[in-house]
Amino acid sequence: MRSGIENLARRAGVSRLMRRASDWVDLQLSLLVEGIKAVAPLAHGRMLDVGCGEKPYETFFRPYVTEYIGIEHSATFARTHTSTRSFADVLYDGHTLPFPDGHFDTVMSIQVLEHTPEPQRLVDEMGRVLAVGGTLILTAPFSFRLHEEPHDYFRYSPHGLRVLIEHAGLELMEVRAQGGLFTVLAHKLNVFLAFRVGRLESVAQASGKLGHEGPTHARPRFWALPAVLPAIVVMSLGARVLDHALPEPTESLGFLVLARKPTSRA
């Protein structure tokens, strides 16, 4: 049975407002979206979104591509909250992408690599379906909580991502960090407050977040919200200020990688 706050979150206008507010305090998502928007103009031609979920980034790329195809692993997708609504254009077996070599000009995979037990195989497949001269846009977590269990296998340093990219025959163009030390600390504390103290997972899903997580039915702890919500806002603001003032290059929530398929291989 849904709580009043969940029902309120599902109303269109309220849902949009709550989503905007939650997106701002969600430091990981804010930085992820900021990074994806920045690289969207690099996309071109036919585009594949590997692990597309609800296709939350499609609108960023539509002005630059001629076609946008989303694909999901059928077995894991069926167990997620997103599976109640159909967004993927194609479902596959998790081994071989069902497309011919060089079929796409742009391939993107956002926060998916940690959920495959064979990451090199997935990167190799993305490289295979990428056309010569095409662009790969890839993000992966470095310091992030366990999620989508039990299908949460790895975390990635920029050096590990480089090895995966180069093994697939691709040329690494750029690696961009997503946040610094204070973002990492604040994000972990905020997640603890929101999900462990406030039990707000169901509210987040009602407003369109956590689509790849399994459905949750825990009721929010309303008595905790007057303390939890202001603390989350303060930490989110403080992290943005401190990361700018005191950058720490060895700490990050994750990394965004840009790579291309070279016209010739050495």
pLDDT of residue 1: 44
How confident is the model at residue 77, as a pLDDT?
57
In this prediction the pTM is 0.86
pLDDT value, residue 128:
97
Q: 111 φ, ψ to 5°?
A: 55, 45
Of the pLDDT bands very low, low, confident and very high (cuts 50, 70, 90), residue 15 is: low
Average pLDDT of the residues in 42-62: 96
Per the prediction, the chain carries an average pLDDT of: 89
In contact, 67 and 46? CB cutoff 8 Å? yes
Rounded Cα distance between 254 and 72, Å, is 22
**Residue 228 pLDDT:** 95
Whether the pLDDT of residue 132 is over 70: the answer is yes
Please state the rounded mean pLDDT for residues 234-256. Answer: 97
Q: What is the pLDDT of residues 182-196, one digit of tens each?
A: 999 999 999 999 999
Each residue's pLDDT tens digit, 71-98: 998 776 555 545 555 689 999 988 899 9
pLDDT value at position 216? 74
Domains of the chain: 4-24+182-245 (no CATH), 40-180+250-260 (3.40.50.150)
Average pLDDT over residues 158-186: 97
- The DSSP-derived string for the chain is ---HHHHHHHSHHHHHHHHHHHHHH-HHHHHHHHHHHHHGGG--EEEEEET-TT-TTHHHHTTTEEEEEEEEEHHHHTTSGGGGS---SEEE-SSS-SS-TT-EEEEEEES-GGG-S-HHHHHHHHHHHEEEEEEEEEEEESS----STTS------HHHHHHHHHHTT-EEEEEEEE--HHHHHHHHHHHIIIIIIS--HHHHHHTT--TTSPP--PPP-GGGHHHHHHHHHHHHHHHHHHHHHS--TT--SEEEEEEE--SS--
Going by pLDDT thresholds of 50, 70 and 90, the confidence category of residue 263 is confident
Percent of the chain past pLDDT 90, that is, above it, reads 71
CA distance 49 to 64: 14
Bigger pLDDT: 255 vs 203: 255
**What pLDDT sits at residue 203?**
80
Q: Rounded mean pLDDT of 27-49?
A: 97
CB-based contacts of 138, cutoff 8 Å, min separation 6: 108, 109, 110, 113, 123, 126, 161, 165, 256, 257, 259
pLDDT at site 10: 54
Rounded percentage of the chain residues whose pLDDT exceeds 70 = 84
Peptide bond into 150 cis (omega under 30): yes
pLDDT exceeds 50 at position 9: no
Question: pLDDT: is 251 or 5 the higher one?
Answer: 251
